[in-house]
Amino acid sequence: MAFTGPLEDRILIRELLDTYAHGVMTRDPETWAATWAEDAFWALPEFPDLGGFTGKEAIVSGWTESMKHYGLGGGAARPMVYVAHPGEILVEGERASAISYTSEIFEDPATGKTMRLRGRYVDELAKIDGEWLFTRREYTTFDSRED
């Protein structure tokens, strides 16, 4: 079954996914950062120049730097549209795993073209001090188109 474990925990994890998306949409590093555990790992295997980021500080720094290309800090780029939908949330005590599917629309800073990406996050989460946080996220793109 795709959704198992206590309903309250699954709702809190869904809210975590939504908070992550809200941080992207509003280009808010503090909101986005609040979704990560201190010792988390963000895997980006399709971006070999980035590879991945270990630790919340490195993750947030990498994201903040990359988002400058999409208007963070007052750049001219149009806002990125980012939504995520859970396909699976499995809670086992203080640990959980999740799969979410993403849809992104943004202006490519290099070409000015509108990009439409569909992707998948495979996540590991932990309940730390009563709060669900990402301990590992791995992103894969499965469709990319430009207008």
Q: Which tens digits make up the pLDDT trace of 9-41? A: 999 999 999 999 999 988 899 999 999 999 999
- Condensed to tens digits (0 to 9), the pLDDT of residues 68-124 reads 877 666 665 677 889 999 999 999 999 999 999 999 998 888 888 999 999 999 999
Q: What is the structure's pLDDT at 70?
A: 74
pLDDT at residue number 147: 85
pLDDT-derived band at 47 (thresholds 50, 70, 90) equals: confident
pLDDT at position 8 over 60? yes
Question: Regarding predicted confidence, which is higher, 52 or 129?
Answer: 129
Helix (H, G, I), strand (E, B) or coil at 63: helix
Q: Which phi-psi region, left, alpha or beta, contains residue 136 (left: φ > 0; alpha: ψ -120 to 50)?
A: beta
Which domains does the chain possess? 3-146 (3.10.450.50)
Res 76: pLDDT:
54
Residue 11: predicted pLDDT = 98
CB contact set of 119 (below 8 Å; sequence gap of 6+): 101, 102, 104, 139, 140, 141, 142, 143
Please, which residues have CB within 8 angstroms of residue 90's CB and are 6 or more apart in sequence? 2, 3, 4, 5, 96, 97, 98
pLDDT at 73: 64
Question: Helix or strand or coil: residue 60?
Answer: helix
135 φψ region: left (φ > 0), alpha (ψ -120 to 50), beta (else)? alpha
Identity of the residue numbered 119: G
Q: What is the per-residue pLDDT for 75?
A: 62
Q: Helix or strand or coil: residue 76?
A: coil
| Mean pLDDT to the nearest integer, 41-48 | 87
Q: What is the pTM of this model?
A: 0.92
Distances (CA, A) of 34 to 60, 108, 138, 141, 143: 10, 27, 18, 24, 28
